[in-house]
A and B are shown apart, each in its own frame.
Chain A
């Protein structure tokens, strides 16, 4: 097997697979022509943190057309950001995703980059919609 145990674990039983019917934000990245498309759905909640109100990723789901690494990266990304404040979630990097998966073959690094882009796109989509309302 070309992948680490952790990658295969997420490939076999992906976390947070599916879609959110009425999402607050959606991020779609990649291109079927390149073989990988990731779509992340987020639901944003508000909670108290040290007396301040903060927005956080209350729920997250993904759908991915792609290779084993693309699916594992998507799954791991949802795990990493679920429950995190939006500002923390925006700090996620492809390196963190890769590290959490143990390792990725070098040819698959772009999958972790795609995941980073997907979560950022979903949060940006949420913020854009919010700003449009205000």
Chain B
């Protein structure tokens, strides 16, 4: 049976070149980068070369790149690290975030609120899954110290106006004294491949991304920390990562991340002839982005046309080229997933049943979907190995599966 992987937002397979360099690197670079001898210094070079590659991609300085174990750790470090590093004021610091953040942000902020370390405003996205800059502006208070907004939503793929929000915060900061500055964090995990990650362009102080969503290895992530941003390390020990993250560095992970990023840089660079070290994806869309968007549109158009009582979740246009999230009335998501899996197709669902709780996806609820519809939602995310034939096969079998599942339901109308 042919296997079709449509869950790239969960994780991506490793790029063959990444596997190659990591395999070679594992034998060669086992030294501890903190050691003075040649073994250590060779590993140090790998680490620092990787840092330079990341810095190039993020359009920042090397000492602004902190390697972590992944997206969740980066989010935790950004939020807890900032709040704990700020000088204690007479009042609680205020955080603005959204209702549809990844749990690594949402639950971290909730934890700070629960522990009495911060207060928070959770912005409700619009029905099409967008956070408007105005809604951020309205939420700003005198004691606001941090805004954290997800760049591309991991479930519905909608793209947030990070640059506009960043500029707005800068304007707000001009009115404030330095010790009242509002810092801006974005979780860019799902944006890293397709969208502009230049931190100066985005006007962000903190940015999270991770290797395993861009064909790199699991266990390696990045937090960009703009110079001058206070951060208290969350893992205590040695002086690694500019004293912002202790622990012997994951040299081979960084090597893999660096190669994975290198591939994306090469592809984006092809398109930017005449531009100096700028990778503005708004100006130069890669071939892969165009290819995926075409496939995704084909998938969305056909499914919505063929399957009655189906709807697309999230804005039709302001979304990741790789994401299609569709709800089917009177059909439970996990049942659809299992049936797809029996045919070799891998996707994911916003139903409660896949998460182990009785509540469906907080993302789908935040954009106003009734729980009974949210339970019947499937996320298809496309990637490098997705072909037209894969999508055509999905379009062929999905209507049959949904109809089969609906026939089993007590609300079956046939």
**Interface residue ranges, A against B (CB under 8 Å):** 1, 3, 8, 11-12, 14, 17, 28, 32-39, 63-71, 105-108, 110
Contact = CB atoms under 8 A, between A and B. Distances in A.
A105 B338 CA distance: 15
Contacts of B317: none
Interface of B: 330-335, 338, 341-342, 351-353, 356-358, 360, 370-372, 375, 408-412
B333 to A, nearest CB: 8
A65 B409 contact: yes
Contact of A68 (B334, B356, B357, B358): B334
Given A12-B342, A65-B330, A68-B338, A35 B358 contact: yes
Given A32-B375, A34-B371, A36-B332, A107 B411 contact: no
Contacts, number: 73
Contact of A69 (B333, B353, B409): B353
A30 B174 CA distance: 55
Contacts of B375: 32, 35
Nearest to A32: B372
Given A11-B338, A33-B370, A35-B332, A67 B351 contact: yes
A1 B370 CA distance: 28
A2 to B, nearest CB: 9
Contact of A34 (B342, B356, B358): B358
Contact of B371 (A3, A33, A107): A33
A35 B330 contact: no
A50 to B, nearest CB: 37
Nearest to B353: A67
A107 B254 CA distance: 36
Contact of A14 (B334, B342, B351, B408): B408
Leading 10 A-B pairs by shortest Cβ distance: A67-B353, A107-B356, A32-B372, A67-B334, A65-B409, A39-B410, A35-B375, A63-B410, A33-B371, A68-B338
A14 B15 CA distance: 41
A63 B412 contact: yes
Nearest to A33: B371
A72 B149 CA distance: 40
A56 to B, nearest CB: 24
A65 B411 contact: yes
Contacts of B334: 67-68
B332 A67 contact: yes
A63 B408 contact: yes
A71 B410 CA distance: 12
A125 to B, nearest CB: 14
Nearest to A11: B338
A126 B410 CA distance: 19
A49 to B, nearest CB: 32
15 contacts: A1-B341, A11-B335, A34-B371, A35-B351, A35-B353, A35-B360, A35-B371, A35-B375, A37-B409, A63-B412, A65-B410, A66-B335, A66-B353, A67-B334, A68-B338
Contact of B408 (A34, A71, A106, A108): A71
Given A34-B352, A64-B410, A68-B353, 18 more contacts: A33-B371, A34-B358, A34-B371, A35-B353, A35-B358, A37-B410, A63-B408, A63-B409, A63-B410, A64-B409, A65-B409, A66-B332, A66-B335, A67-B335, A69-B353, A70-B332, A71-B335, A107-B353
Contacts of A32: 371-372, 375, 411
A65 B352 contact: no
Contacts of B341: 1
Nearest to A26: B410
Contacts of B409: 37, 63-65
Nearest to A30: B410
Most buried by B among A1, A12, A14, A71: A71
B344 to A, nearest CB: 12
A65 B332 contact: yes
Contacts of A67: 332-335, 351, 353
